[in-house]
Amino acid sequence: MKRGFLTSLPEVFIVSGILLGYIVNYSLSGLPQNMNWRLMLGFAAIPAIAIGFGVTAMPESPRWLVMKGRTDEAKRVLVKVSDSCQEAEFRLNEITKAAALDIGQAASSSNSEWRGQWVWRELLLSPSRPVRRILVAAIGINFFMQASGNDAVIYYCPEVFKDAGIHNKRQLFGVNVIMGVAKASFVLISALYLDKFGRRPLLLLGSIGMAVSLAVLGMGSKFLEHSESKPLWAIIVCILAVCADVSFFSIGLGPITWVYSSEIFPLRLRAQGTGLAISVNRLVSGVVSMTFLTISNKITFGGVFLVLSGVMVVGTLFFYFFLPETKSKSLEEVWALFEDKDKSNDGERGGMQMREI
């Protein structure tokens, strides 16, 4: 199965775009100020136009087409992405059976024909135990992805290093490029090995690594705050800690959040459930990014990084206890993990015992 690799590709390209932006900014930093920012914004229109044309060629999801009764279209899409017509036919039969089961369950629970209007009720008002567990897992991983402060570190990295003692503009942009290279390299490694090692090992490795890196960055920043000489070794330690933090994020939370969120919801709940989880993701990202500088002015950058390290310790515990392994499971089989039907695979779930929710 290559689901993990394929689903993590968006994160690979997002990080590659961030790195390209850093390189362009570094290249433009020597130009006059009345030109460099205009060119930076102008260049950003090029990939946006390319995406606009690319979207027109995107096919619909085969599962969504089956749910809408457009089976022939679903088969044509599956033929394009399968090795043979026989494989496409087999996958279509699996999807059709799962869709019929999901629709039947929803119809029996609502005592009326299912048309999607009961999805929010099943998700939020009267969720079953497996749905509750799925919601907690999906919302939790999206919450900790942004509560880790990764976006804020990327946005305000120059401010952090200015405070650490680096004031040369080109040097600041150079540090950004180094951070971007580290981030892009490790997200690619994660994508390539996600289906081999599984979601849980890489997620736990990444979150533990982030907790340690943020703690080192916090202590290094605190040391520099109280040092008048700003020793070079302390600045290098902080730079390495930032690079380690974004690298561990790219190994774990970066790609795996999107993979996990997309594969744990049953078909009938997938669109709304994933949308709800991603809404939490973007809300927390906005809150953290908008309050990062304000809070750092109160407790210093070092204090903020130590708080974020504590957040990642809590996140690591959450991932260990509430996120089962989904590697090599079909989308239809993942549901059984949250129902606890697959008792024989407890070892495969990494020793995790899901708590009563």
pLDDT of amino acid 141: 96
pLDDT of amino acid 195: 85
Going by pLDDT thresholds of 50, 70 and 90, the confidence category of residue 350 is: very low
pLDDT at 110 over 80: no
The distance in angstroms from the start CA to the end CA of the chain is 30
pLDDT of amino acid 121: 82
Residue-wise DSSP of 309-347: HHHHHHHHHHHHHH----TT--TTTHHHHHHT--GGGTG
Percent of the chain past pLDDT 90, that is, above it, reads 29
Going by pLDDT thresholds of 50, 70 and 90, the confidence category of residue 108 is: low
pLDDT of amino acid 86: 85
pLDDT of amino acid 352: 46
pLDDT of amino acid 304: 93
Residue-wise DSSP of 222-276: HHHHT-SS--HHHHHHHHHHHHHHHHHHHHTHHHHHHHHHHHSS-GGGHHHHHHH
Calculate mean pLDDT across residues 325-351: 65
Average pLDDT, the chain: 84
pTM of the entire predicted model: 0.79
Domain boundaries, the chain: 62-108, 126-338
Find tokens 């606009």 and name the residue: 52
CATH code of the domain made up of 126-338: 1.20.1250.20
> Both tokens of residue 202?
């890489």
Span 2-32, pLDDT tens digits = 777 888 888 888 888 888 888 888 888 778 8
Span 326-336, pLDDT tens digits = 887 876 678 77
Alpha carbon 79 to its chain centroid, in Å, reads: 29
- Residue 356 DSSP code: P
